Amino acid sequence: MSRLEEQVRAATAARASEITPDRIKPLDLARTRTVTPIVNKGRWRWSAPLAAAAAVAAIAAVVASVGGGPGRPAPGTPHVSRPAEQTKRPGPTADLDNQVLGLFVPATGPQFAAGLQLEGTIQAQEVAATARCLGRHGVTIPVPPTGSMAARYATNYVDNSQFPDLARISRTHDFTPPFFIQPLRPPTGQHQAFHRWLGPCQTAANALFAPLMSAGRRLGNGTWTRLTSQAATAPPVRATLDALRTCAARYGWPSSPYAPPAPIRSFSDFTDWVFGHLDGADSRGASAATMRRLSRRWSVVFVRCGRPTLAAQDRWLAARQPAFVGQHERQVRALDALARRILGQQQALDGVAGG
């Protein structure tokens, strides 16, 4: 086994150790949050219709943890008993390493979430680059700090079908956080120049990260995509489905107010049943208060019934990730280096502009 495979195996083992049924606390039914609709159909699965971007974001978390050198803390170490010198908080380099792998080849929910952080950073840097480009053409567009934009962009791409963030859903009762777009508005007296250069500047900003995204897709597509699909029907995952069906039955399955009864043969079938209650009510004009009530109820069901199946799925994928990364070591290291170079360049420019 190569050093890289050993690093990834340690990282994924640490992540897998987090994914246990007792890691998700019971929902506090006294707390509620406003549900903000994002798309009309299937919005509870994705908070935006950009699934490809979300998948790319997921791979970055895994790549980042792979790039770490000897002695660097593996992802999830705060939850794993380790010697004191190995439990120090990772620095920016280790954080980026973790995000790269999670953006393109995620095996677990925490890895996917780490990848979303990189996706948010990329989108924030694209906005900043667009603003700098406009500035070179005489159009001054003030934008917030990239860090604050990145954190908000990262919430745009939740995946409730494959890698739902059970901790967030349990805490907020929201399946899809409000969608964030940083507005770019023309300053007074500069409308003509703004509209003349906005399109070209956005195109140029997007091109900055195109090599990274293309390389990530090449890594994630194919074998890893197939493994991700196979996880849903892997024997350890199927072994949890009887309990999933029993739990769902306590909340009314197989009946549904908006669709004929359907079997639960996978976690995806379960999500279809849960989100059918929400999408069906919303499509029939349910009030905001009704949607908040339904979201609170079905978030409880989703987390309580779904977490054992998701835990088994994450463990199955995590066990296969080290071998995959070892087989693609050159691609993984190249992707990690590319992310460092491009992000470093843009962050340096952002610092100059901000100063």
Structure tokens of 254? 């197989």
**Can you tell me the distance from the alpha carbon of 94 to that of 89, in angstroms, rounded to the nearest whole number?**
9
The predicted pLDDT at position 20 comes to: 40
pLDDT at 249: 96
Closest CA to 198 of 141, 147, 160, 243: 141
**Which pLDDT does position 352 carry in this prediction?**
52
| Residue found by looking up tokens 């929201």 in the block | 174
Residue 353: its pLDDT value, please?
53
61 in any annotated domain: yes
Please tell me what DSSP assigns to residue 86.
Answer: G
Task: Give every CB contact of residue 94 below 8 A, 6+ residues apart in sequence.
Answer: 64, 65, 68, 72, 73
Which range marks the domain in which residue 300 is found?
Answer: 3-177+188-354
- What angle is formed at CA 122 by the lines to CA 121 and CA 125, rounded to 5 degrees? 85
- Whether residue 62 lies inside any domain: the answer is yes
pLDDT digits (tens, 9 = 90+) for 192-249: 999 999 999 999 999 999 999 999 999 998 899 999 999 999 999 999 999 999 999 9
Considering the domain boundaries, does residue 204 fall inside one?
Answer: yes
Q: What does the pLDDT look like over 316-326, one tens digit per residue?
A: 999 999 999 99
What's the pLDDT at 29? 28
pLDDT at 350: 74
Q: What is the pLDDT of residue 92?
A: 52
What is the amino acid identity at position 131?
A
The gap from C-alpha 83 to its chain's centroid, in whole angstroms, comes to: 30
pLDDT per residue over 161-196, tens digit each? 889 989 989 999 999 888 888 888 898 999 999 999
pLDDT of residue 256: 84
Per-residue pLDDT tens listing for the chain (355 residues):
544 444 444 444 444 443 443 333 333 322 222 222 222 334 555 443 333 333 333 333 333 333 333 333 333 333 333 333 333 333 455 577 778 889 999 999 888 989 999 999 999 999 999 999 999 999 999 999 999 999 999 888 888 888 998 998 999 999 988 888 888 889 899 999 999 999 999 999 999 999 999 999 999 988 999 999 999 999 999 999 999 999 999 999 998 888 888 999 999 999 999 999 999 999 899 999 999 999 999 999 999 999 999 999 999 999 999 999 999 999 989 999 999 999 888 888 876 554 4
What is the number of structural domains in the chain?
1
Using CB atoms within 10 Å of the CB of residue 82, give its burial: 0 to 12 exposed, 13 to 18 middle, 19+ buried. Answer: middle
Domain annotation covers residue 183: no
Determine contact, residues 311/21, Cβ cutoff 8 Å. Answer: yes
CA torsion, points 39, 40, 42, 47, in degrees to nearest 10? 20
8 Å CB contact between 324 and 223? yes
| Phi, psi torsion values for 46, nearest 5 degrees | -125, 140
* pTM, rounded to two decimals: 0.70
- Distance between CA atoms of 38 and 47, rounded to whole angstroms? 6
Residue 182 within a domain? no
